[in-house]
Structure 1
Amino acid sequence: MDCIQQTNIGGTNDGHCQLRLVDFEGHINHISHETLGLSRKHLVVRRGKPFKLTLRFHGRSWNPHSEGLVLEVWLGSLSERIPVQFSDTQPNPQHWSANIHPGSVHSESVTIYICSPVRSSVALYNLLLHKETRQSRSTYAVGSFVLLCNPWLKDDPVYMPQEDQRQEYIKSDYGVVFMGTNLNVCQRPWSFGQYEPGVLEACLKLLEVSPQHLNDKTRDYILRADPAYLSRVVCAMVNCNDDLGILLGKWQGSYESGVNPTEWGGSADILRRWVSSNFSPVRYGQCWVFASVLCTVMRVLGIPSRVVTVFNAAHDTDANSSIEEFYSSTGEKLNLSKDSIWNFHVWVECWMRRPDLSAAFDGWQVVDPTPQEKSAGIFCCGPCPVAAVQQRCLRAPFDTPFIFASVDADVIRLIVRNGQVVGRTVDTERVGKVIYTKGIGSDSPENLTPAYKMKKRAQPVCTARNFSYCRSAVVSSCQTAEIASSPEEPAPGLEVSLKIKGKQSWGESIWMSVTVTNNLGHSRVLVEHLNAQIKEYNRSPQESFWEMHKEVHIQPHQTLTLQHTIPASEYESVLAAQNIVNLAVVIKDEQTKERVMHAQEFNISSPQISMEIEGGDSLHIYKEHTVQVYFTNNLTKTLDGAVLTVEGSGLLKGKHEARLAHLNQGKKIEKTVSIMASSLGTKILMATFSHSNSPTVMSRSYHKVTITA
């Protein structure tokens, strides 16, 4: 702390009372403001809540009767003077204040309680102190502090009433991302890492290099008081499509020039790489990586956030709220549609009030940083009120039609033969089949589907004409319309359904049943076509790896259940552990040529890697612990070129490998490593197993550990 300016006004400065030291009372303030561990460099406090600093003098003691104290806060070119007053009354949360409580003045020190307005901007502030007499003024650079949103304060737009929610959605540095398919949900842990060194500073730097800040610093500083504005800025900056953003997306091809998105386990490494590279994009991200990094930044800024997975998320490119899928007459899915359905898609929900709308749309807001479509000219999406999606108020900002289609579009399946459509089915239940987030204080999923979707029936639809009713929260006044766009059709002569039995595990046969119903009063000769294709979660299937054709005789009004099996040997050589199977059945009436179909997509659980930690899963900081990692080959064949890899951000430096030329059936490959954490919080150990018989990683496992003082 240096004296940077001393001004004499009409007299001399006696110099007997000089400011020697400013104590920011970091530990006490950080505990009081729920910011302990966020930064080792800055005082971090929350808006609308007083924090204290202590001034220490040398020479004679400070005389409050002849020497006034004035604080001055600076944010860019914006500043405000705050006279220091003697008062122990509750500060007005709408204005800056600086108070000295009775008993806080001592012979060589004074403690000041500073409170910011509850709608202050999120930023790094600079603080000056002026010591003024009638004859002179001395000005000191006191230092800087970081101001964050305050979900503990009722007047803050991000106020969250329940303490267990605040602990989960603000303070927790550990999350779970749900992946796979709705038939076999997988989960992977994620370390948000907000207490890792440099993470808070990276989040502040993200705001400083955003286009909004670079184009107009003053306007950006003012607007940062609004969590909706902050969420749009951060959302666009997490991807690098329009700016100096953090992550470059890549969904196919080689990842050799960067990191395969499946290898990331936390946000801290990504944010630090971005800063250290002078804001070059980190390679590479996919939806769960984009979402998890966004969740980290929002939690750091003080906005409650959670990662959400939509299973069977529609990507509606033509904005008609329907997805067309094309199949051959033998059940092979064809890549003919620009629309698509991802088996899972991950975005973020942020908690805030929406004064631009109405109280009906306060609460959780969808913010999706994966670059898909532009919103107001930039690649971001949201904040979109979850309530607006459920109530079909599609004109509510921002990007509600796109989010609505993601969770509630209809799927139209068309059977094509020789360029002609020979069969058509509509599935109103597939999209948004289930929507999950991590439960509070638990790794189990919380089902959010009812918050997004009403049952398919007459529902309110907000149009340009009636949107004003939704703004007034009179949702019942919105027009009602049937979702079905076509008149009711007669019952089909044939019905078919396909069911996968149980959760499929690697190395086991795939069991399925096909149920066929003849609704007519005469017997029929049918042909059953079954087709299985490999696909990745976000793309169309590749060529078929298994198919079956069979003639079936069915009696009048009879229901038949047909059992089928795909042996493991049929998929082990072509299917990677993270791939998904698209399975379709087409039933054809040989006489009438009527065709009906059904399809299911499912994933196969990969073999597990075991990790055993000396001393359990709660570890002491700065203490070494031994971890035993091993993989057992339970398949029916020898795996050549076996590689077991272990890594963990904040626990291990680099990757540690074990290799075997041949891993025989029933044998195991193992690796022992020593881990040590240098920061508190939850850390993730990740292990992968691969072999030369497969082009990709066969198995990936995670283990979370809690680091305590």
Structure 2
Amino acid sequence: MNILKPGNILHTNRREHHTDLYHGDELIIRRGQTFQMELELNRPFSADTDKLHLDLKTGPLPMVSKGTHVIIPLVEHLEDERWEAKIVKQTGNNIRLSINSPASAVIGLYGLSVTTSSLKGEATATHNSSKNIVMLFNPWCEEDTVFMDDEDERNEYVLNDTGRIYYGTEKQIGARTWNFGQFHEGILDACLFILEKSDMPPSGRGDPVNVVRVISAMINAQDDFGVLIGNWSGDYSDGVSPAAWSSSVEILKKYHSTNGTPVSYGQCWVFSGVTTSVLRCLGIPARSVTNFQSAHDTDVSLTTDVYFDANMEPIDYLNSDSVWNFHVWNDCWMARPDLPPGNGGWQAVDSTPQETSQGTFRCGPASVSAIRSGQVYLKHDTPFVFAEVNSDKIYWQKNLDGTFSQIYSEKKAVGHNISTKAVGSDERADITHLYKHQEGSEEERIAVETASRYGSKPDVYSVPMAEDVSVEVKMEGEGPRMGVDAKLSILVKNQSPHPRQTTLHSQVAVMYYTGVLKGTIKKEEIPVELLPNEGWLSTRG
């Protein structure tokens, strides 16, 4: 018996399943959608005297109970949401089958066999196909949890194989073109290889939450021989500089061809670009997202904390939190039946190794809706992403008894100009409003205070602070440029009806884009006396 996939059947399946852009001659299908198959038997098939069923198996130990061994019976009428096959055409020894799959099917690489026998169970014969079947997620299927109902968005977030990734500073936003290349020859094989190399059992591949979480861990090589080694040292002599990459294709092919040897080197935009490629390749809508002034909260306080001693000198060993010029991660699209209603849609996922999550360097998927409202108790890793986009920057001073007092807070220090490529064009789309309410609005303040209650410093907002003296720092022009002087103006204003005496501590330092300090350039202490409602302006160059 031959299992036939002649050109017209293959192309029909590929076209109907939106998989015609993939290379190769495998049967690449999406779950929850009918597909066609042709069989050539050694004699004509008769439903009155013969039985036939198909077996699909995936993973090293296929089991019916785990959904990794699928037995597809022959039926007279197809019903949705189950594995079934129906004969739709018979010509001599050839039969054409129409086959259904459920929208919750395990994705991945399946081996196919066909078993025939008589109704009495005699003369049983099993034939293994030389071709495998690849099952993918299906954003076109309403029952699939990754369903996306807007065609333009599906074209952008699943089928577009190029894009733009943003970098720089909020005043000088740059863009690099990135080749995601999810349909390039060999990339689907590389993505399936990553799934196989992970510690996720094949039975877990039916849930996109699981798959995304595993991909987040596997794109970095921090603890599991994943795809990319991160390097922020400036020395890339034994590998490729992160800035030299412009495509995921070479990275994924190199990882696959070396049987899982991590590739050197990546930084956040490279991790994000590769993550977009893998998720789109597997059928999960995804995009690369850049956050400017992105906080890195190291102690789950939900605040970005800066500590000073009694003399207003920074306490370096405590100042582990940082703010990066920019940081790039991903959004992926899915329903979240594991969360309360309203938390589906875009989910933040970050493959750059920063903090561990359940013992592994990964982050997400975190509901963007939950992040926006400060519901950081909803999984996965929502507190970390919340802090990246909407934490307050709190300044603490050490008291004589060793405790710390809050001396100042910046409420608009992090999470600016959150950017992604627009649908259908190379324009930049600002999606800050998806991640946070309008800065300074009552809703945004409630979200911050809600989130902080679940952090390691729940009493940060329990004591109201006197905030009648404000400090505003502005930089002339578009911000600092290489080789050009930077000019700052500092406006201190007394907004109360009473005189105020204060000391302005200013410090200018050079830092890397990750927020790591290189060195202090200038420090000043200036006593300031302000009459009621008076302002004081200082210009520094």
Contact 2:225 2:260 in 1 (8 A): yes
1:78-477 matched pairs, under 5 angstroms: 78=63, 79-87=69-77, 91-101=78-88, 104-133=89-118, 134=120, 135-142=122-129, 143-212=131-200, 220-325=201-306, 335-336=316-317, 337-413=319-395, 424-454=407-437, 455=441, 456-459=444-447
CA distance in 1, matches of 2:150, 2:178: 24
Deviation of residue 22 (structure 1)? 4.5
What is the letter of the counterpart of residue 75 of structure 1? T
What is the letter of the counterpart of residue 73 of structure 1? L
1:560-639 matched pairs, under 5 angstroms: none
CA distance in 2, matches of 1:465, 1:431: 19
What is the letter of the counterpart of residue 30 of structure 2? R
CA distance in 1, matches of 2:341, 2:406: 46
Q: From the superposition, tell whether residues 518 and 26 of structure 1 become closer, same or farther in structure 2 (CA, over 3 Å).
A: same
Q: From the superposition, tell whether residues 332 and 187 of structure 1 become closer, same or farther in structure 2 (CA, over 3 Å).
A: farther
CA distance in 2, matches of 1:423, 1:443: 44
Q: From the superposition, tell whether residues 96 and 273 of structure 1 become closer, same or farther in structure 2 (CA, over 3 Å).
A: same
- TM-score, with length taken from structure 2: 0.85
Q: Does 1:502 align with 2:478?
A: yes
Instruction: State the secondary structure of the residue aligned to 1:360.
Output: coil
Deviation of residue 527 (structure 1)? 10
Paired residues in the alignment total: 520
What is the letter of the counterpart of residue 146 of structure 1? V
Deviations along 1:176-235, whole A, 9 cap, x unmatched?
1111122221111211110111110000011111123xxxxxxx2222111111111111
Instruction: State the secondary structure of the residue aligned to 1:211.
Output: coil
Deviations along 1:398-456, whole A, 9 cap, x unmatched?
1122222222211124689xx99999431011111232222111222222222222334
Q: Does 1:51 align with 2:30?
A: no
Q: Percent identity?
A: 34
1:492-571 matched pairs, under 5 angstroms: 492=469, 495-502=471-478, 510-517=486-493, 532-544=508-520, 559=535
Q: From the superposition, tell whether residues 435 and 57 of structure 1 become closer, same or farther in structure 2 (CA, over 3 Å).
A: same
What is the letter of the counterpart of residue 404 of structure 1? F
Deviation of residue 520 (structure 1)? 8.9
- TM-score, with length taken from structure 1: 0.66
Q: From the superposition, tell whether residues 174 and 201 of structure 1 become closer, same or farther in structure 2 (CA, over 3 Å).
A: same
CA distance in 2, matches of 1:327, 1:564: 23
Q: Report the equivalent of 1:33.
A: 17
Contact 2:343 2:368 in 1 (8 A): yes
CA distance in 2, matches of 1:303, 1:210: 18
Per mean C-alpha deviation after superposition, the further-off stretch among 159-168 and 290-299 is 290-299
Contact 2:374 2:451 in 1 (8 A): no
Contact 1:527 1:551 in 2 (8 A): yes
Instruction: State the secondary structure of the residue aligned to 1:233.
Output: helix
Deviations along 1:609-656, whole A, 9 cap, x unmatched?
xxxxxxxxxxxxxxxxxxxxxxxxxxxxxxxxxxxxxxxxxxxxxxxx
Instruction: State the secondary structure of the residue aligned to 1:235.
Output: helix
Unpaired runs of 5+ in structure 1?
1-17, 213-219, 467-480, 566-709
Instruction: State the secondary structure of the residue aligned to 1:542.
Output: strand
What is the letter of the counterpart of residue 320 of structure 2? K
CA distance in 2, matches of 1:540, 1:332: 17
CA distance in 2, matches of 1:330, 1:562: 22
Contact 2:291 2:417 in 1 (8 A): yes
Quick check: which one's strand share is greater? 1
Contact 1:97 1:114 in 2 (8 A): yes
Instruction: State the secondary structure of the residue aligned to 2:91.
Output: coil
CA distance in 2, matches of 1:339, 1:463: 17
CA distance in 2, matches of 1:55, 1:357: 44
Identify which of 35, 52, 58 aligns with 1:69: 52
Q: From the superposition, tell whether residues 316 and 531 of structure 1 become closer, same or farther in structure 2 (CA, over 3 Å).
A: closer
Instruction: State the secondary structure of the residue aligned to 2:375.
Output: coil
Deviations along 1:4-25, whole A, 9 cap, x unmatched?
xxxxxxxxxxxxxx54844373
Deviations along 1:487-533, whole A, 9 cap, x unmatched?
231623x7443233235655655454443546699999999987654
CA distance in 2, matches of 1:453, 1:354: 20
What is the letter of the counterpart of residue 111 of structure 1? R
What is the letter of the counterpart of residue 83 of structure 1? P
Deviation of residue 262 (structure 1)? 1.2
Deviation of residue 275 (structure 1)? 1.2
Quick check: which one's helix share is greater? 2
Instruction: State the secondary structure of the residue aligned to 2:361.
Output: coil
RMSD, aligned α-carbons: 3.7
